[in-house]
């Protein structure tokens, strides 16, 4: 597990998935990270501790963890030898999850998470091939999907499969609608109009799901900011703008309230 991808960004390929690279030189505890899509993570250096509804998991260097979607997770990333934490993740497209689940109906489903302590070199090669297929758009889409599906087969060989997506709640539908444009001036009126309902109906339905427009918009913006801080070298001020905050100080205050530490904490001192 010595090969570490050179990419320092979050890369998305529709129909395949999202590749996420995390590089840190600090020990960081991140509260309430929302996991939208099922994700498989390899720890390259250091450790990762996850606390979620299904229990706690400590994943060490050379190990992996599969985390089911639509849940919030508390994460502790700790640096290893050399003073760094490095991990790579793939969040799988829902169509791949559904297809894999259909052809592997007899396998147990992952509830909250599955710790994979014995990661073979062949699985690592499959993982890196899938990452490359997401990042390299010259790889034909059909082949990229095949390579990501092969990684799901490795996951099933490790003991379980991701469960297919059920009908999304209004909360999830709103998240998907706004997550790629977090900087817009989202409010109850604009979101209600997008979903062809009144503001009163929107608020009532979200209240039945124990959430609100303000909570969803803030969480999307903070989650987007966290990903950008972890995986890019853009300045804190620029990231604040990208997720909808004109005032960097206001952004920093909301971020610290949400995660428990300031945005600058995630910046590598060696960059």
What are the domain boundaries of the chain?
11-157, 170-266
CATH architecture of 170-266: Orthogonal Bundle (1.10)
Largest CA distance in the chain: 55
Give me the percent of the chain exceeding a pLDDT of 90. 69
Nearest to 100 by CA among 178, 141, 155: 155
Render 213-239 in DSSP notation, one character per residue: HHHHHHHHHHHHHHHHHHH----HHHH
Tokens 């339905």: give the residue: 205
- What mean pLDDT do residues 73-83 have? 92
Does residue 107 register a pLDDT over 50? Answer: yes
In this predicted structure, the answer to whether residue 123 has a pLDDT above a threshold of 80 is: yes
What is the model's pLDDT at position 269?
Answer: 43
Q: Which of 40-44, 173-177, 182-186 has the highest mean pLDDT?
A: 40-44
Residue 267 — pLDDT band, cuts 50, 70, 90? low
**Could you name the CATH architecture of 11-157?**
Sandwich (2.60)
Task: Say if residues 270 and 233 touch (Cβ distance below 8 Å).
Answer: no
pLDDT at 4: 41
CA-to-CA dists, residue 134 to 1, 148, 183, 225, 270, angstroms: 20, 9, 25, 21, 28
Structural tokens at position 204: 């009532």
Average pLDDT over residues 73-99: 93
Range list of H helices, 34-179: 94-103, 121-135, 141-157, 170-178
Torsion of CA 79, 155, 138, 243, to 10 degrees: -50
| 109 HSE (CA, 13 A, CB side) | 15
> What stretches of 179-212 show up as alpha helix (H) in DSSP?
188-194, 199-208
The total of other beta-carbon atoms located within 10 Å of residue 192's CB is: 17
Q: What is the pTM of this model?
A: 0.81
Q: Is the pLDDT of residue 54 over 90?
A: no
CA nearest neighbour of 116 among 74, 154, 163, 69? 154
């Amino acid at each position: 597990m010595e090969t570490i991808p050179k990419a320092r960004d979050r890369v998305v390929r529709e129909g395949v998935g999202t590749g996420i690279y995390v590089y840190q030189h600090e020990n960081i505890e991140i509260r309430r990270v929302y996991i939208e899509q099922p994700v498989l993570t390899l720890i390259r250096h250091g450790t990762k501790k996850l606390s979620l509804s299904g229990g706690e998991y400590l994943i060490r260097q050379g190990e992996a963890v599969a985390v089911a979607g639509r849940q919030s997770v508390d994460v502790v990333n700790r640096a290893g030898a050399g003073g760094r934490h490095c991990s790579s993740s793939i969040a799988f497209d829902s169509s791949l999850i559904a297809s894999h689940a259909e052809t592997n109906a007899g396998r147990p489903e992952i509830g909250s998470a599955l710790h994979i302590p014995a990661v073979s070199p062949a699985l690592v090669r499959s993982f890196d091939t899938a990452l490359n297929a997401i990042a390299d758009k010259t790889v034909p889409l059909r082949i990229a999907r095949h390579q990501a599906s092969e990684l799901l087969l490795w996951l099933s060989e490790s003991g379980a499969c991701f469960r297919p997506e059920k009908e999304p709640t209004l909360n999830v539908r709103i998240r998907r609608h706004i997550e790629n444009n977090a900087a817009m001036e989202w409010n109850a009126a604009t979101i209600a109009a997008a979903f062809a309902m009144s503001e009163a109906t929107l608020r009532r339905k979200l209240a039945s799901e124990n959430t609100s427009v303000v909570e969803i918009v803030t969480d999307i913006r903070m989650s987007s900011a966290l990903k950008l801080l972890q995986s890019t070298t853009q300045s804190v001020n620029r990231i604040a703008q990208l997720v909808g905050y004109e005032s960097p100080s206001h952004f920093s205050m909301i971020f610290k309230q949400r995660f428990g530490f300031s945005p600058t904490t995630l910046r590598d001192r060696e960059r």
